[in-house]
Amino acid sequence: MIPRYSPADVAELFSDAHRFDTMLEVELLAAEGLAQLGVIPAADAAALRARRPVVDAAFVAEVEERERVTNHDTAAFVDLVQSRIGMPEGAWIHYGLTSSDVVDTALCANLAQAMDIVIVEATALRDALTRRAVESIDWPITGRTHGMHAEPTTYGAKFALFALQVQRDLERARHARAAIAVGKLSGAVGTYSNIDPAVETFVCEALGLAPVPATQVIARDRHAEVLYACAALGTTMEQFALEVRHLARSEVGEAQEPFAPGQKGSSAMPHKRNPILSERLCGLARVLRGYLVTGLEDVALWHERDISHSSVERVVMPDALQLTVYMLRKAAGLAEGLVLFPERALENLTQGSLGLVFSQSVLLALVESGLSRDDAYRIVQAAARRAVEERRNFREVLEADEAVGLDEASLSRAFDTERMLAHRYRFLDALTWAP
């Protein structure tokens, strides 16, 4: 991932140094598990731990140099670890294991750590949206379907629905975290031919992972599930950002991204305050969905394993987790700082819509007065068309239409925003995590 979109804490999890350090821990734990079984001397396992190499930039550089000879990064890693520890104890490193035992278990441990960060940041986004929902539940705004004025809703209802969607994403993320928090140390085709299953259990428990049956590799539907959780979060953030973009349009003016002192919206037009963060979130969500496609294509491997997934995962797994956390932090900031304009929203609702947002209420009032639904529909439809063509208030048109025949009380009730939004607190009731 390019530095622009790389949170330092997540990038560190996927650095070569952290990856090799986690692989080294797997190797040392495997030796300690073997020692518990009496396969290797306990003193040798203790020596391995005591002489544990420091994994730093120099270590990484030496692995890369050795790989030029081996053309195999895990073999190069094992060679370097053995040479750093020294013989004869170093010979026990990688005993009974295959590369994927170490690489897959380490990768899953790192992915579980990254998913922990995702869950924390997704919770922060959910809570930010929840706070805005509570704050603005009483602020009417025009609801729109097909991009057209529909009926009144509230800002708070919008925020609550986004918060509920993030909550569902959180549940998916927790499930994906559990699915990826697994390990295997079962050998070349997963049959424990040269390693006791007790070693796998020992190592996984020490790393906070669950041992699972596998071929040479852990099944890749688990990795695809992580990518789906990331893509789902990205799509939710895109939906929220797209709403902001629409509400921020000049002719709507019902919301605006936070604009910092000294910020410039356009290099050419000083008046601009463009929704650039929302647009960025929409764009990056497309990248996350692309990573999901490649992750799904990694699931089907030849027999007990081929290597076609490896190169893909070196790119998409770190990138997806970094990008998801970056987006979550930006989206939470957007939710917290989004500027709302309830007065403009009310103006658009009552004047900008010409009152047409109350057309269904008028329709129902006419049905209650004794008209058939179709007759009532045609009367309201014709009145609405006249209001649009003549740029007149819809209620005034209805009052002048003899075919309507509704008294003042009935019309007032039909055009009562408070009546239409009387059940708005149901949105808040659904936010069960809210204080």
Tokens of 240: 């929220």
Euclidean distance between CA atoms 288 and 323, whole angstroms: 8
H helices within 37-154, ranges in order? 42-50, 57-70, 73-85, 99-136
pLDDT at 105: 98
Mean per-residue pLDDT, 16-42: 97
Mean pLDDT of the chain: 96
Mean per-residue pLDDT, 246-266: 90
3-state secondary structure of 218: coil
pLDDT at 273: 86
What CATH number is given for 1-95 in this structure?
Answer: 1.10.275.10
pLDDT at 435: 73
Cβ 199 vs Cβ 34: under 8 Å:
yes
Euclidean distance between CA atoms 156 and 414, whole angstroms: 23
Task: Tell me what percent of the residues of the chain surpass a pLDDT of 70.
Answer: 100
pLDDT one-digit tens code per residue, 293-352: 999 999 999 999 999 999 999 999 999 999 999 999 999 999 999 999 999 999 999 998
pLDDT at 110: 98
Q: What are phi and psi of 183, to 5 degrees?
A: -150, 165
pLDDT one-digit tens code per residue, 266-300: 878 888 889 999 999 999 999 999 999 999 999 99
Is 309 a residue of the active site? no
Q: Which of 72, 193, 266, 372 is catalytic?
A: 266
Extents of the domains making up the chain: 1-95, 98-253+272-341, 356-414
pLDDT for residue 419 is more than 90: yes
pLDDT at 211: 98
pLDDT one-digit tens code per residue, 167-182: 999 999 999 999 999 9
Q: Which of 146, 271, 303, 423 is catalytic?
A: 146
Is 94 a residue of the active site? no
Task: Calculate the dihedral angle through the C-alpha atoms of 414, 136, 260, 279, rounding to the nearest 10 degrees.
Answer: -70
pLDDT at 373: 96
pLDDT one-digit tens code per residue, 386-396: 999 999 999 99
Task: Calculate the dihedral angle through the C-alpha atoms of 166, 168, 174, 180, rounding to the nearest 10 degrees.
Answer: -100
pLDDT for residue 139 is more than 90: yes
Euclidean distance between CA atoms 267 and 269, whole angstroms: 6
What CATH number is given for 356-414 in this structure?
Answer: 1.10.40.30
Q: What is the 3-state secondary structure (H, E, C) of 138-169?
A: CCEEEEEECCEEEEEEEHHHHHHHHHHHHHHH
Give the CATH fold of the 98-253+272-341 domain.
Answer: Fumarase C; Chain A, domain 2 (1.20.200)
pLDDT band at residue 434 under the 50/70/90 scheme? confident
pLDDT at 108: 98
Euclidean distance between CA atoms 60 and 62, whole angstroms: 5
